Amino acid sequence: MSEQIADPVGRWKAFRRSLRPLRVIAERDPEGPLHRDALVSTVVEICARAAASDQLGERSVGLWRLEKLGFCTCRHGRGTLDEAAIPESAQPILHVGMGIAATETAGFEVVRVGEVIEAQAHPDYRLFSFESVGCIWAVYASPIYRTFFRWVSGAGIPVTKLPAWSSLIHTVPVEIERVMSHGYGRTLYFKHLSLRRAIRAARRIPSLDIAAAAQGIAFACAMLNHDDLDSLLTGVPTSDDSEVATGLRRGFVYALAFWQWTFGDVLDRVESRTLQRTGLVREARDLIRESRSRGMLATFL
């Protein structure tokens, strides 16, 4: 199927922006395991620094730092995120980071990965960790990206031969498959820096949940291209494929909701008459309201 998806952000502009999360990944890791009080104080500090800025991009930077914090906290089977003192607002992104640590410990042996996650996760947020399993698999699918990721992050995933995606998700529940496919899509956007090219690449992967991958692609696009948020949300790229079109829309909505859940003030800051007409802000508010009533953020829905 030929893709007619428009790319609202040029690849060179997206490339320049992609250097910022790479700089965050390359920042010096904490020395030794972070115990509860140090972890909580670091979470509070990162969130306060991000919230103090008028720039939406600082919220994205805050998320990337929290993701790295979750990774560093749970590396090599140490640490836990099952602590009542950890702010609920930070738990989703911390668990995304923990998923990277789980792959570093167990590779892509899904049963073993699940055991590591179960041992370290807060039960309400464990599914977020599986998103990174798909994300890192997509990184390791390319020898160049694999080498670059290991060099920048210092993570060493114990993989000698990458399992086929179809065999990786064959034994996992549908919900985990969906979340992993979202993570795969998130990496595809960073690889291609183009919605159209990323969707095209996703179609070439047998057994990939294309709707969830499209959502991950749009989620990453929004997080990276926050300075073009108005144009992204007022002209949401679409596709003749209804699954892809729905996934792209959900990805932008979920990005808004993810910012809002973590920092609390994002929707009020970005809302304008233009954004209101798209309905995406309203959908994000509805998702936040539903999540608040459940007591936790829905997992990449």
Q: Each residue of 147-158: pLDDT tens digit?
A: 888 888 777 777
2 phi, psi to nearest 5 deg:
-75, 140
Phi-psi region of 190 (alpha: psi -120 to 50; beta: other; left: phi over 0): alpha
- The tens digit of pLDDT for each residue in 112-137 reads 999 999 999 999 999 999 999 999 99
Calculate ∠ Cα 82-181-66, nearest 5°.
40
pTM of the model: 0.93
d(CA 269, CA 119): 38
DSSP string, 12-24: HHHHHHHHHHHHH
d(CA 274, CA 22): 32
* pLDDT, average across residues 79-96: 94
* pLDDT, average across residues 44-52: 92
Query: Where do the structural domains in the chain lie, given as residue ranges?
Result: 11-294
Q: How many CA atoms lie within 13 A of 179 on its CB side?
A: 21
Contact (CB, 8 A) for 280 and 253: yes
